[in-house]
Structure formats: C-alpha cells, structure tokens
Amino acid sequence: MELILKYFPNLTEDQIDKFSKLEALYQDWNLKINVVSRKDIDELYLRHVLHSLAVAKVIEFKPGTKIMDVGTGGGFPGIPLAILFPECSFHLVDSIAKKLKVVDEVVEGLGLENVKTTNKRVEEIKGNYDFIVSRAVAAMPTFVHWVKGKIAKKQNHEIKNGIIYLKGGDLSEELQDYKTATIYNIMDFFNEDFFETKKVVHLPLKYKG
C-alpha cells in the first residue's frame, strides 16, 4: 500500500481503505478460483495495482467518463482505476466467466458502485465509451478490430477518445500502421525495475456513427 501512496499521495481515506483491502480480497478469492499467479499475488500492488494506475499518469478521467476494460481478467486495470476515479463508470468485460466471478466478488467486497461486468466477447458489447483500456490482451491490430465502432463522439479530454493500452517490450512493428499512437514509458512515472520495458499506449479512434 505504501507503494501506491508513494505515487498517489492525495488519496482520500475511502480510496486508501479500498486499496488496502485489495490484497486480502484477492488472496482469499484466488485460493478458490485461481486468476492471478502466486508470484503476482505476492507482488499484487506492484505488478497489478500500480501497473494499472500508470493509465492515470497519462490521463485524469473527468467525472462522467465512460470506460470499458476489455479482457479484464482479474479486474486489471479496471478495478484500481475505478477506485481512483469514483465519479467515472467502468464496464469490465471478459469472455471467461470464472475470472469475472472473482471480479464481481472483489467489487462487492470493496463496495464499488461505479463498476459493472459482462461475461461476453467484446465484439458482442453494444454502446459507446470515451476510452477503452486493456492490458495486453492481443496485438494492437486485432484489438482495434475488436473495439471498432465503440468510441463515443463527444471529446471531453485533452487527449482524444480511443484506446489506452498497457503493453511491454518493443512495439515498433505492432504500431507501425498507427501513426497517431503515442507511447509513454512507465519508467517516466514509476521508478521500480519491474516497469523497465513497460509502456502505456494511447491510440485515438474516430467515432463511427
């Protein structure tokens, strides 16, 4: 928890309480339904929570923003971002039901009222979102194809509506066709070695009416 406060010192008491509860909730549920590896559970705040919050160093979501987390797995980056931005709505989507079972239990355990979950493939989801976040569930061209037509028209932020993607490694080949993509090195925000090769990618997407 100190790790989160190191980079986000202005959290409210309620946010600190919710972030503090994450570890016990995940440890408890992970014993019943394994969604996070053992090593990752031991370093939950570094590898999952803080990693998810790198998105917040690129953009501060304004109240009322609609965000979809595609392939949320155990609830990352959606749950940490939902704690950080309580006035935004988060839709966590995954095609694997057992993962969402854990997410639902964690959401309930935290009393998060700005999160809903759906057990479907993202292509089947209806509706528009200001931003679509995800953590390396597919190569960017595949991901763009999945979320086509799901971006809201109205722009409310300094950076344009679209995809905010957490990804590692060399992205030059994967992003060569996306000239509007911006790559942020997470090491510019957080100084832990874990983030050495990790990036946040912002790819604006146009509204398709």
Degrees to nearest 5, angle at CA 196 with 157 and 50: 55
Q: Which fold has domain 1-204?
A: Rossmann fold (3.40.50)
Q: Is 109 annotated as a binding residue?
A: no
Q: What does the pLDDT average to over 174-179?
A: 95
pLDDT tens string 27-38: 998 888 888 887
Query: pTM score > 0.85 for this model?
Result: yes
Torsion sign across C-alpha atoms 147, 150, 151, 153: positive
- Identify the pLDDT of residue 41: 86
Q: Is 38 annotated as a binding residue?
A: no
Gap between the Cα atoms of 50 and 72, Å rounded:
15
Both tokens of 178, joined, read: 């996306």
End-to-end CA distance of the chain: 43
pLDDT tens string 128-151: 999 999 998 999 999 999 999 999
Q: Is 76 annotated as a binding residue?
A: yes
Gap between the Cα atoms of 124 and 170, Å rounded:
31
Degrees to nearest 5, angle at CA 72 with 68 and 73: 170
Beta strands in 144-197 (DSSP E): 162-168, 182-185
- Identify the pLDDT of residue 136: 85
- Identify the pLDDT of residue 106: 96
Q: Is 71 annotated as a binding residue?
A: yes
pLDDT tens string 118-128: 999 999 999 99
Question: Would you kindly state where each structural domain of the chain is located, as residue ranges?
Answer: 1-204
Q: Which of 122, 116, 65, 64 is nearest to 94 (CA)?
A: 122
Q: How confident is the model at residue 52 (pLDDT cuts 50, 70, 90)?
A: very high
Q: Is 47 annotated as a binding residue?
A: no
